């Protein structure tokens, strides 16, 4: 289980100068509820923000959703209002990566942190393209608090805007240079519905601002087919889920075309590890096997066909 927090601060209190509109800024913190070390990190972060002169008014709010309220939509709203995401990736977990992808898909900066440098080895290579923070020493904590203040003070986005999803674009993600078991049939099915089907290798994924091609392909596709192989490559699939959920519809027309990410499990045991994040968004997320992956793409193709015919009506 993963718990989330929201840290809120009034805009203008960190930057000094004259009066500014008191629009609240928010930091979304994703961490593992099952790990005491991660829980301690969340508590220590709150304490240090309160004891930092320039961030004295920062309030840390727990991400608990009250009983009877919609869990998934409540978390999404908090992410949508965030100006910064801080994620404890000491142990890489699917839900935390999903929230990272959600934030990144909305153009929200990400600050990944780990407890100690030895945990760096477990991070996906594409995550290591970002500067990784730490909370293992006093110096590391000071640097992390400074980084949070720097992000909140930034007047302009540090990277170009994330592209909008294109209704007829489909992306097949490859793992380890391989292709989906029915790649030819998927290409043929996409062509049947007038879909532009592209391919990309997970190994080429990067968060480096000069090498965002694969991330841009995920962001601009309305249907993404991603393999779950039980390896570290799955981490990018979880990140991609968040990107799709961040912008769940494509097109700017009067009717909505809901995007879809199809997670096809090449290892049966992988499906049982998927948590509630991936099971409460049935409209956008499909978990399937090699035997039904083609069926899922056909279903999206029919939805696209219906959506397109609706746009062509006078």
Q: What is the pLDDT of residue 194?
A: 95
More confident call, 74 vs 250:
250
Of 15-19, 58-62, 195-199, the one with minimum mean pLDDT is 15-19
Q: What is the pLDDT of residue 16?
A: 34
* pLDDT tops 60 at residue 23: no
* pLDDT tops 60 at residue 283: yes
Residue 51 near residue 107, CB atoms below 8 Å: no
More confident call, 188 vs 50:
188
Give the 3-state secondary structure percentages of the chain, helix then strand then coil, rounded to 5. Answer: 40, 25, 35
Among 16-30, 125-139, 263-277, the range with the most confident prediction by mean pLDDT is: 125-139
Percent of the chain with pLDDT over 70: 81
Per-residue pLDDT band at 146 (split at 50, 70, 90): very high
Q: What is the pLDDT of residue 230?
A: 87
Of 131-145, 225-239, 241-255, the one with minimum mean pLDDT is 241-255
Looking at every residue in the chain, the average pLDDT score rounds to 83
* pLDDT tops 70 at residue 77: yes
More confident call, 272 vs 205:
205
Instruction: List phi, psi (to 5°) of 8.
Output: -120, 145
Residue 228 near residue 263, CB atoms below 8 Å: yes
Q: Is 26 helix (H, G, I), strand (E, B) or coil?
A: strand
Q: Which residue has the tokens 């192989």?
A: 229
Give me the mean pLDDT over the 291-301 stretch.
91
Q: What is the pLDDT of residue 170?
A: 97
Please tell me the distance from the alpha carbon of residue 114 to that of residue 118, in angstroms, as a whole number: 9
Read out DSSP for 140-172?
HHHHHHHHHHHHHH-SS-SSPPPPPPEEEEEEE
Q: What is the DSSP letter of 59?
A: E
Please tell me the distance from the alpha carbon of residue 192 to that of residue 187, in angstroms, as a whole number: 9
Give me the mean pLDDT over the 20-29 stretch.
67
Q: Would you say domain 2-153 falls under CATH 3.40.50.1820?
A: no
Give me the mean pLDDT over the 8-28 stretch.
49
* 2-153 and 166-312, same CATH topology: yes
* pLDDT tops 80 at residue 136: yes
- Domains of the chain, residue spans: 2-153, 166-312
Q: In the chain, what's the furthest Cα-to-Cα distance? A: 65
Q: Give the β-pairing of 59-62 and 2-10.
A: antiparallel
* pLDDT tops 50 at residue 98: yes
Q: Would you say domain 166-312 falls under CATH 2.70.50.60?
A: no
Per-residue pLDDT band at 6 (split at 50, 70, 90): very low
Percent of the chain with pLDDT over 90: 46
Q: What is the pLDDT of residue 279?
A: 57
Per-residue pLDDT band at 128 (split at 50, 70, 90): very high
pTM value is 0.88
Residue 259 near residue 247, CB atoms below 8 Å: yes
Q: What is the pLDDT of residue 253?
A: 64
* pLDDT tops 70 at residue 21: no
Of 116-120, 148-152, 159-163, the one with minimum mean pLDDT is 159-163
Q: Where are the alpha helices (DSSP H) in the chain?
A: 36-50, 71-80, 94-105, 138-153, 183-192, 213-220, 234-246, 268-271, 293-312
Residue 307 near residue 222, CB atoms below 8 Å: no
Q: Which residue has the tokens 């699917």?
A: 94
> Cα 23 from chain centroid?
25
């Amino acid at each position: 289980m993963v718990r989330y927090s929201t840290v809120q601060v009034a805009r203008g209190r960190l930057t000094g100068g004259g009066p500014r509109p008191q629009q609240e800024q928010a930091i979304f913190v994703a961490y593992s509820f099952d790990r005491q070390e991660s829980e301690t990190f969340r508590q220590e972060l709150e304490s240090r923000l309160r004891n930092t002169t320039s961030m004295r008014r920062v309030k840390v709010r727990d991400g608990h959703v009250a009983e009877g309220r919609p869990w998934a939509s409540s978390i999404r709203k908090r992410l949508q209002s965030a100006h910064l995401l801080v994620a404890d990736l000491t142990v890489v977990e699917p839900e935390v990566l999903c929230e990272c992808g959600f934030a990144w898909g909305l153009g929200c900066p990400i600050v990944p942190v780990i407890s100690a440098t030895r945990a760096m080895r477990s991070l996906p290579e594409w995550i290591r393209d970002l500067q990784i923070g730490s909370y293992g020493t006093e110096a590391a904590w000071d640097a992390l608090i400074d980084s949070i203040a720097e992000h909140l003070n930034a007047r302009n986005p540090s990277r170009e805007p994330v592209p909008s999803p294109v209704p007829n674009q489909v992306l097949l993600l490859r793992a380890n240079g391989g292709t989906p078991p029915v790649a030819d049939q998927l290409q043929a099915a996409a062509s049947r519905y007038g879909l532009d089907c592209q391919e990309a290798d997970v190994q080429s994924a990067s968060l480096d601002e000069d090498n965002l091609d694969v991330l841009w392909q995920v962001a601009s596709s309305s249907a993404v087919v991603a393999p779950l192989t039980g390896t570290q490559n799955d981490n990018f699939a979880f990140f991609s889920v968040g990107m799709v959920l961040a912008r769940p519809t494509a097109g700017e027309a009067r009717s909505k075309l809901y995007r879809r990410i199809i997670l096809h499990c090449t290892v049966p045991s992988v499906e049982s590890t998927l948590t509630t994040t991936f099971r409460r968004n049935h409209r956008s997320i499909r978990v399937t096997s090699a035997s039904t992956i083609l069926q899922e793409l056909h279903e999206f193709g029919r939805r696209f066909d219906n959506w397109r015919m609706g746009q062509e009506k006078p």
